Amino acid sequence: DVKVTQSSRYLVKRTGEKVFLECVQDMDHENMFWYRQDPGLGLRLIYFSYDVKMKEKGDIPEGYSVSREKKERFSLILESASTNQTSMYLCASSQYRDRVYNEQFFGPGTRLTVL
Amino acid sequence: GQNIDQPTEMTATEGAIVQINCTYQTSGFNGLFWYQQHAGEAPTFLSYNVLDGLEEKGRFSSFLSRSKGYSYLLLKELQMKDSASYLCAGGLNFNKFYFGSGTKLNVKP
């Protein structure tokens, strides 16, 4: 089974802190994604990566950055956390095959609260 | 844009059939996915459609009409464990998905 793990299930940080959310997948997937999920807004794509050191902005990249130094690991960074970044953060991964859709596998999520 | 619309909440009875609709307004999507998400858990893949028509997978079926920008998920023989949110997602460029806000399904005895 594909396994996507996230470093924390719950996290509480203060405004202005630098926050790192880590995601690791064990299926050698090329694609990795970071979403945030808010009530009434669904999942919104923050960033995705289709290869090591490659990244592409999603719909809401402002206030976030990412790092992908190894294929299995994709990190989301909040440079200076703000209260409007309180949310559920979900990581996902998928295989890449040219012109073929591949399902995304999700991690359990990190519920981040910024005070 | 990539607007994806689903009803916010639905209620159905155990043993019944329920249809969850999803409409979208984009010409760029070339696949339509359905995910199930139980409260507090990660979304899990249910089905996808690339071509028009019905795809059946046990108690779950999904339908797509690309010309109408319309899909639905059909759940038969509802069970209490089917109480969850159902997320519709449009696929773009074979890698990126755009998700709707989800439909919360309540199954009652």
Higher-scoring residue by pLDDT: B98, A68: A68
Cα A115 to its chain centre, rounded Å, is 21
Alpha-carbon span A111 to A88, nearest angstrom:
4
What pLDDT, in 10s, does the model give residues A11-49? 999 999 999 999 999 999 999 999 999 988 889 999 999
The answer to whether A90 and B42 have CB atoms below 8 angstroms apart is yes
For residue B102, name the pLDDT band (cuts at 50, 70, 90).
very high
The answer to whether B32 and B71 have CB atoms below 8 angstroms apart is yes
Chain B residue whose CA is closest to A56: B96
Name the average pLDDT for chain A: 93
Question: Using alpha carbons only, what angle is made at residue B8 by residues B3 and B9, rounded to the nearest 5 degrees?
Answer: 155
User: Do B42 and A107 lie within an 8 Å CB cutoff?
Assistant: yes
Report residue A65 as tokens. Answer: 């950055």
Name the residue among A45, A98, A109 with its Cβ closest to that of B42. A109
The answer to whether A39 and A103 have CB atoms below 8 angstroms apart is no
What pLDDT, in 10s, does the model give residues B38-95? 998 999 999 989 899 999 989 999 999 988 999 999 999 999 999 999 999 988 776 7
Residue type, A17: E
User: If phi over 0 gives left and psi between -120 and 50 gives alpha, with beta otherwise, what is residue A63?
Assistant: left
Is residue B27 scored above 80 in pLDDT? no
User: Do B87 and A43 lie within an 8 Å CB cutoff?
Assistant: yes
